[in-house]
Structure 1
Amino acid sequence: MPSLQRTKKGFPWRFVRRIVLLLLLAWVLVIIGLVFLIDRTGQVDQRQPADVIVVLGAGLSRDGRPGYALVRRSRYAADLWQQGYADTILCTGGQAPGQSRSEADACREVLMWRGVPASAILLEEQSRSTEENAIFSRPIIEANGWETVLLVSDGYHLFRAEILFRTRGIPVLLSPVSKEEMQRRDSYVRAVTREITALHWQVFKDLLGLPFTHFP
């Protein structure tokens, strides 16, 4: 009988490398697309008269004073209120570990510095993330019968924020703080990088059905 020979085939590394390279290329294209969408959304100002202005929270300094991002967002919201775009401003943001007060309370402080009366300001003080800004703002919005929401934040933040608010059933109009308000150009680059990371986390946790609404 003729001898049977087994042909040994090695592991198809070349094929695997091609797949990996294609996946990496696709991921790079996704990143480029996200950068474009984040920057483009941040340049679109949809401001018009609304029922309420919602200010997205930002971190405080170690001594509890409002950080620069929160100051510029709150200051811009105060300007919109002064111009008559809404009668009420809703400040969002809870109390971070180690802080003596909430981001929303610090937002109110800035608004009052800018001449907005306390009677025109409401606080949402439970949230620890942009997603929770939307979750905990919704009951306040519904309880007051508001239908139009003017959402205020830095431009780089609004692409993700709009997705999260609309996902929670809150249609919003976007009004970004001017990019020139940021102190340095590298601050904007870091902020966009952080947004891309946050979008990756959002997709990852949603695909896995993880029950987190803030980064654990």
Structure 2
Amino acid sequence: MKKKKIYRKIIIIMCFITLVYSFYIASNIYLYSKYNNLKKADAAIILGAAVWEKEPSPVFKARIDHGIWLYKNRYVDKIIFTGGQGKSEDIAESIAAKEYAEDNLIPSKDIFIETKSKITQQNLYYAKQVGKDNGLDSFIIVSDPLHMKRAMLMANDYGLVAYSSPTPTTRYKSWKSKGSFLLREVYYYIGYQFYRIFF
């Protein structure tokens, strides 16, 4: 009986610690989402998102639009679009983004793409390779506000000289959609922290 009580107490304590830590991470993610560190950099790295029938989804379009704004306002000289082709997609995300940017008068010579990545970590890994191959040393990372904390942690782990600039608009506007996105980010952020320990 005593052992059962001890085990029960340990489980309760661990659950409490997990809950407190998750709340701490959620708070950090939310606060970081407001941080816009606009600085001159060599290129913007636009993290991939879904493509709908060869067109960027509204979430992806907001990211691309912000990259275009950074370019036209001379914060960056180049744009790197990331994202491969998902199972339900007709075209690689980065190719759809490139075509959209060209339609918005961004010169093709100032656009780079990678078509291999499937997840955020790969987005940044392959973007780093593109930057290295083209003499680009500093970057502005662009994604949805609640995605930025995790993205910047990964960028720093890859040794990128990177600045955070979330999209000024987001499709996640309701409390329900924001809450769902935040919970997902807490889960992935904590998961990535464990990944860093072992790899």
Q: TM-score, normalised by structure 1?
A: 0.85
Where do 1:62-141 residues align within 5 Å?
A: 63-141=53-131
**Residue 16 (1) aligns with residue 12 (2):** no
SS of residue matched to 2:55: coil
Question: 1:105 Cα shift?
Answer: 1.1
Partner residue of 2:161 out of 149, 161, 171: 171
SS of residue matched to 1:111: helix
| 2-structure distance, mates of 1:140, 1:208 | 27
Structure 1 residue aligned with 2:187: 197
SS of residue matched to 2:143: strand
Fraction of identical pairs, as percent: 21
Listed as ranges, the gaps of 5+ residues in structure 1 are 1-9, 210-216
CA RMSD in angstroms comes to 1.7
Where do 1:205-216 residues align within 5 Å?
A: 205-207=195-197, 209=199
Where do 1:18-37 residues align within 5 Å?
A: 18-37=9-28
| 2-structure distance, mates of 1:173, 1:206 | 21
* AA partner of residue 40 (structure 2): P
Structure 2 residue aligned with 1:56: 47
| 1-structure distance, mates of 2:101, 2:180 | 27
Where do 1:135-174 residues align within 5 Å?
A: 135-174=125-164
Listed as ranges, the gaps of 5+ residues in structure 2 are none
Change over 3 Å in CA distance of 1:180–1:152 after alignment to 2: closer
Question: 1:180 Cα shift?
Answer: 5.4
* AA partner of residue 144 (structure 2): D
Q: TM-score, normalised by structure 2?
A: 0.92
Question: 1:50 Cα shift?
Answer: 0.6
8 Å Cα contact 1:42-1:157 kept in structure 2: yes
Cα deviation, 1:153-210, whole Å, max 9, x if unaligned, reads: 111111100111111121210001125554433222221111112123324444555x
Question: 1:48 Cα shift?
Answer: 1.2
Question: 1:15 Cα shift?
Answer: 1.3
Query: For this pair of structures, how many residues does the alignment match?
Result: 199
